[in-house]
Amino acid sequence: MLRHRTGFCYAKSHLLAALLRANGLPAGFCYQRLAHGSGYCLHGFNAVELPGIGWYRIDARGNKPGIDAAFDPPSVSTRSTEGRCPEQHGCVRA
């Protein structure tokens, strides 16, 4: 993923958890079920324990059109602004 600078949300969240843990911050994985046409898709993101804040959800996708994943504790923003997760947003359709 690092070499190609792209990947699905699962790969990005696994890498982010490893980097956070390597820097002494407890981190875990979260999954979110989002509407997708007549079905749904699963989105992978993270939670990290921040001193003085507690567990905070973060999204390794970063900001791009249709996605507000700003890191601004204690407020949380981890979903696409449309409430859907199409493939171009880096999620896996289930």
Locus of tokens 């792209």 = 6
- pTM for the full model? 0.71
Q: What is the pLDDT of residues 1-23, one digit of tens each?
A: 788 888 888 888 999 999 999 99
Q: What is the pLDDT of residues 41-85, one digit of tens each?
A: 888 889 999 888 888 888 887 777 777 777 777 766 544 434 444
Instruction: Dig out the tokens for 89 from the structure.
Output: 């947003």
Long-range CB pairs of 37-42 (<8 Å, 24+ gap) are 39/93, 39/94, 40/94, 41/85, 41/86, 41/87, 41/91, 41/92, 41/93, 41/94, 42/91, 42/92, 42/94
